[in-house]
Chains A and B, each alone.
Chain A
Amino acid sequence: EPEVTQTPSHQVTQMGQEVILRCVPISNHLYFYWYRQILGQKVEFLVSFYNNEISEKSEIFDDQFSVERPDGSNFTLKIRSTKLEDSAMYFCASTAGVAGAATDTQYFGPGTRLTVL
Protein backbone atom coordinates (compact mmCIF):
# COMPACT_ATOMS: atom_id res chain seq x y z
CA GLU A 1 0.00 0.00 0.00
CA PRO A 2 1.34 3.45 -0.84
CA GLU A 3 2.49 5.47 2.12
CA VAL A 4 3.76 8.91 3.06
CA THR A 5 7.40 8.90 4.05
CA GLN A 6 9.35 11.45 6.08
CA THR A 7 13.04 12.02 6.59
CA PRO A 8 14.86 12.18 8.86
CA SER A 9 13.05 10.35 11.64
CA HIS A 10 14.92 12.43 14.21
CA GLN A 11 16.67 15.76 13.73
CA VAL A 12 18.73 17.50 16.39
CA THR A 13 19.74 21.11 15.81
CA GLN A 14 21.11 24.11 17.64
CA MET A 15 18.88 27.09 18.35
CA GLY A 16 19.04 29.61 15.52
CA GLN A 17 19.90 27.05 12.87
CA GLU A 18 17.79 26.39 9.80
CA VAL A 19 16.22 22.98 9.37
CA ILE A 20 14.44 21.37 6.45
CA LEU A 21 12.06 18.51 7.09
CA ARG A 22 11.31 16.37 4.11
CA CYS A 23 8.23 14.47 3.10
CA VAL A 24 7.36 12.33 0.12
CA PRO A 25 3.56 12.29 -0.22
CA ILE A 26 1.72 9.52 -2.01
CA SER A 27 2.51 9.96 -5.69
CA ASN A 28 -0.87 10.88 -7.17
CA HIS A 29 -2.02 13.02 -4.25
CA LEU A 30 -2.80 16.68 -4.73
CA TYR A 31 -3.17 18.25 -1.27
CA PHE A 32 -0.36 18.31 1.27
CA TYR A 33 -0.25 19.24 4.94
CA TRP A 34 2.11 19.79 7.83
CA TYR A 35 1.16 19.31 11.47
CA ARG A 36 3.18 19.40 14.64
CA GLN A 37 2.78 17.88 18.08
CA ILE A 38 4.70 19.29 21.00
CA LEU A 39 5.31 16.57 23.57
CA GLY A 40 2.20 16.03 25.67
CA GLN A 41 0.12 18.50 23.69
CA LYS A 42 -2.36 18.41 20.82
CA VAL A 43 -1.55 17.74 17.22
CA GLU A 44 -1.70 21.21 15.64
CA PHE A 45 -2.36 22.14 12.05
CA LEU A 46 0.38 24.23 10.46
CA VAL A 47 -0.33 24.56 6.77
CA SER A 48 -2.03 23.03 3.73
CA PHE A 49 -0.64 23.24 0.21
CA TYR A 50 -2.34 22.77 -3.14
CA ASN A 51 -1.41 23.59 -6.70
CA ASN A 52 2.00 24.87 -5.66
CA GLU A 53 0.74 27.39 -3.18
CA ILE A 54 -0.37 27.61 0.42
CA SER A 55 -4.08 26.94 0.75
CA GLU A 56 -4.49 27.60 4.46
CA LYS A 57 -2.17 28.26 7.37
CA SER A 58 -2.56 28.57 11.10
CA GLU A 59 -1.31 31.36 13.33
CA ILE A 60 1.61 29.10 14.28
CA PHE A 61 2.88 29.23 10.68
CA ASP A 62 4.66 32.57 10.88
CA ASP A 63 7.47 34.03 8.78
CA GLN A 64 9.94 31.55 10.26
CA PHE A 65 8.19 28.74 8.42
CA SER A 66 7.99 28.03 4.71
CA VAL A 67 6.90 25.12 2.56
CA GLU A 68 7.95 24.08 -0.87
CA ARG A 69 7.41 21.37 -3.41
CA PRO A 70 10.81 21.55 -5.08
CA ASP A 71 10.18 18.70 -7.49
CA GLY A 72 7.43 16.27 -8.38
CA SER A 73 7.84 14.14 -5.30
CA ASN A 74 9.14 16.04 -2.26
CA PHE A 75 7.25 18.40 0.03
CA THR A 76 9.43 20.27 2.50
CA LEU A 77 8.95 22.32 5.64
CA LYS A 78 11.70 24.82 6.40
CA ILE A 79 12.18 26.52 9.73
CA ARG A 80 14.46 29.48 9.16
CA SER A 81 15.85 30.08 12.64
CA THR A 82 14.83 27.42 15.10
CA LYS A 83 13.74 28.20 18.63
CA LEU A 84 13.60 25.90 21.64
CA GLU A 85 9.81 25.87 21.41
CA ASP A 86 9.99 24.44 17.88
CA SER A 87 10.95 21.09 19.42
CA ALA A 88 8.11 18.79 18.44
CA MET A 89 7.07 15.89 16.25
CA TYR A 90 6.25 17.12 12.77
CA PHE A 91 3.81 15.15 10.66
CA CYS A 92 3.29 15.40 6.93
CA ALA A 93 0.02 14.28 5.34
CA SER A 94 -1.55 14.14 1.90
CA THR A 95 -4.96 13.64 0.34
CA ALA A 96 -5.83 12.41 -3.11
CA GLY A 97 -8.49 14.82 -4.24
CA VAL A 98 -9.07 18.51 -4.58
CA ALA A 99 -11.82 18.47 -1.98
CA GLY A 100 -9.25 18.31 0.77
CA ALA A 101 -9.07 16.54 4.06
CA ALA A 102 -12.68 17.03 5.11
CA THR A 103 -13.88 14.70 2.40
CA ASP A 104 -10.82 12.77 1.29
CA THR A 105 -8.84 10.55 3.61
CA GLN A 106 -5.65 12.07 4.92
CA TYR A 107 -2.64 9.77 4.88
CA PHE A 108 -0.02 10.66 7.47
CA GLY A 109 3.69 10.01 7.53
CA PRO A 110 5.43 8.57 10.61
CA GLY A 111 6.73 11.97 11.66
CA THR A 112 10.07 13.68 12.21
CA ARG A 113 11.07 14.39 15.79
CA LEU A 114 12.81 17.76 15.91
CA THR A 115 14.90 18.55 18.96
CA VAL A 116 16.23 22.10 19.30
CA LEU A 117 19.06 22.51 21.81
Chain B
Amino acid sequence: AQSVTQLGSHVSVSEGALVLLRCNYSSSVPPYLFWYVQYPNQGLQLLLKYTTGATLVKGINGFEAEFKKSETSFHLTKPSAHMSDAAEYFCAVTPSWGGNQFYFGTGTSLTVIP
Protein backbone atom coordinates (compact mmCIF):
# COMPACT_ATOMS: atom_id res chain seq x y z
CA ALA B 1 0.00 0.00 0.00
CA GLN B 2 1.08 3.55 -0.69
CA SER B 3 1.50 6.16 2.00
CA VAL B 4 2.95 9.63 2.21
CA THR B 5 4.38 11.37 5.26
CA GLN B 6 4.93 15.08 5.45
CA LEU B 7 7.05 16.05 8.43
CA GLY B 8 5.89 19.26 10.02
CA SER B 9 2.28 20.37 9.68
CA HIS B 10 3.41 23.98 10.07
CA VAL B 11 6.63 25.55 8.84
CA SER B 12 7.61 29.19 9.31
CA VAL B 13 10.44 30.87 7.44
CA SER B 14 11.61 34.44 7.11
CA GLU B 15 11.22 36.20 3.79
CA GLY B 16 14.34 35.48 1.74
CA ALA B 17 15.22 32.33 3.68
CA LEU B 18 15.40 28.79 2.34
CA VAL B 19 12.16 26.85 2.20
CA LEU B 20 12.39 23.11 2.88
CA LEU B 21 9.24 21.01 3.06
CA ARG B 22 9.74 17.32 3.69
CA CYS B 23 7.98 14.40 2.07
CA ASN B 24 8.69 10.69 2.43
CA TYR B 25 6.80 7.89 0.73
CA SER B 26 6.32 4.28 1.59
CA SER B 27 6.21 1.96 -1.38
CA SER B 28 8.15 -1.10 -2.46
CA VAL B 29 8.31 0.29 -6.00
CA PRO B 30 9.06 4.01 -6.45
CA PRO B 31 5.83 5.76 -7.35
CA TYR B 32 5.25 8.91 -9.32
CA LEU B 33 5.63 11.89 -6.99
CA PHE B 34 3.90 15.25 -6.93
CA TRP B 35 3.80 18.48 -4.99
CA TYR B 36 0.64 20.58 -4.97
CA VAL B 37 0.02 24.02 -3.48
CA GLN B 38 -3.28 25.33 -2.19
CA TYR B 39 -3.87 29.03 -1.68
CA PRO B 40 -6.78 30.14 0.50
CA ASN B 41 -10.17 29.47 -1.07
CA GLN B 42 -8.61 27.92 -4.15
CA GLY B 43 -8.14 24.42 -5.51
CA LEU B 44 -4.92 22.45 -5.46
CA GLN B 45 -2.42 23.54 -8.10
CA LEU B 46 0.38 21.33 -9.40
CA LEU B 47 3.82 22.69 -8.48
CA LEU B 48 5.93 19.92 -9.96
CA LYS B 49 6.09 16.19 -10.49
CA TYR B 50 8.58 13.37 -10.92
CA THR B 51 7.78 10.41 -13.13
CA THR B 52 11.03 9.34 -14.81
CA GLY B 53 14.36 10.83 -15.86
CA ALA B 54 16.26 13.53 -14.01
CA THR B 55 15.73 13.22 -10.28
CA LEU B 56 15.89 16.97 -9.68
CA VAL B 57 12.72 18.52 -11.02
CA LYS B 58 11.93 22.18 -11.30
CA GLY B 59 8.45 23.55 -10.94
CA ILE B 60 6.59 26.80 -10.97
CA ASN B 61 7.36 29.79 -8.76
CA GLY B 62 11.01 28.83 -8.26
CA PHE B 63 10.32 25.56 -6.44
CA GLU B 64 12.21 22.36 -7.04
CA ALA B 65 12.27 18.88 -5.57
CA GLU B 66 14.68 15.99 -5.69
CA PHE B 67 13.68 12.35 -5.80
CA LYS B 68 16.03 10.28 -3.64
CA LYS B 69 15.24 6.62 -3.96
CA SER B 70 17.67 5.56 -1.22
CA GLU B 71 15.90 7.86 1.22
CA THR B 72 12.37 7.36 -0.21
CA SER B 73 12.09 11.13 -0.16
CA PHE B 74 10.87 13.92 -2.39
CA HIS B 75 11.56 17.11 -0.43
CA LEU B 76 10.45 20.47 -1.80
CA THR B 77 12.81 23.43 -1.70
CA LYS B 78 12.99 27.05 -2.72
CA PRO B 79 16.17 29.08 -2.19
CA SER B 80 14.46 32.31 -1.16
CA ALA B 81 10.97 32.53 0.32
CA HIS B 82 8.57 35.18 -0.84
CA MET B 83 5.51 36.42 0.99
CA SER B 84 3.33 35.04 -1.79
CA ASP B 85 4.60 31.51 -1.03
CA ALA B 86 2.44 31.36 2.10
CA ALA B 87 0.04 28.49 1.42
CA GLU B 88 -0.70 24.84 2.15
CA TYR B 89 1.58 22.36 0.39
CA PHE B 90 0.66 18.75 -0.29
CA CYS B 91 2.90 15.91 -1.36
CA ALA B 92 1.19 13.11 -3.29
CA VAL B 93 2.06 9.82 -4.96
CA THR B 94 0.42 7.56 -7.47
CA PRO B 95 1.56 4.09 -8.47
CA SER B 96 4.02 4.08 -11.34
CA TRP B 97 2.70 0.75 -12.57
CA GLY B 98 -0.71 2.10 -13.46
CA GLY B 99 -3.87 3.45 -11.99
CA ASN B 100 -5.06 6.90 -11.15
CA GLN B 101 -5.46 6.65 -7.43
CA PHE B 102 -3.59 9.46 -5.70
CA TYR B 103 -2.38 9.28 -2.10
CA PHE B 104 -1.84 12.63 -0.41
CA GLY B 105 0.07 13.66 2.65
CA THR B 106 -1.60 15.64 5.42
CA GLY B 107 -0.16 18.89 4.14
CA THR B 108 2.27 21.49 5.44
CA SER B 109 1.16 25.03 6.08
CA LEU B 110 3.93 27.45 5.15
CA THR B 111 4.06 30.84 6.85
CA VAL B 112 6.46 33.50 5.56
CA ILE B 113 7.51 36.09 8.11
CA PRO B 114 8.34 39.55 6.77
Residues of A within 8 A of B (CB): 3-4, 31, 33, 35, 40-45, 48, 55-56, 58, 91, 93, 100-103, 105-111
Contacts and interface: CB of A to CB of B under 8 A. Distances in A.
B99 interface: yes
B106 A42 contact: yes
Interface in B32-64: 32, 36, 41-46, 51
A111 B36 CA distance: 15
- The SS class assigned to the B binding surface is loop
Interface in B57-102: 90, 92, 94-96, 98-102
B43 A45 contact: no
B30 interface: no
A108 B43 contact: yes
A45 B102 contact: yes
B37 to A, nearest CB: 11
Interface of B: 4, 32, 36, 41-46, 51, 90, 92, 94-96, 98-107
A3 B92 CA distance: 21
B100 A100 contact: yes
A54 B47 CA distance: 27
A58 B99 CA distance: 12
B105 A42 contact: yes
B102 A108 contact: no
Contacts of B106: 40-42
B107 to A, nearest CB: 8
A35 B95 CA distance: 17
A109 B43 contact: yes
A102 B94 contact: yes
A56 B43 contact: no
A5 to B, nearest CB: 9
Given A31-B100, A42-B103, A102-B51, 6 more contacts: A43-B44, A91-B43, A102-B94, A107-B43, A109-B43, A111-B43
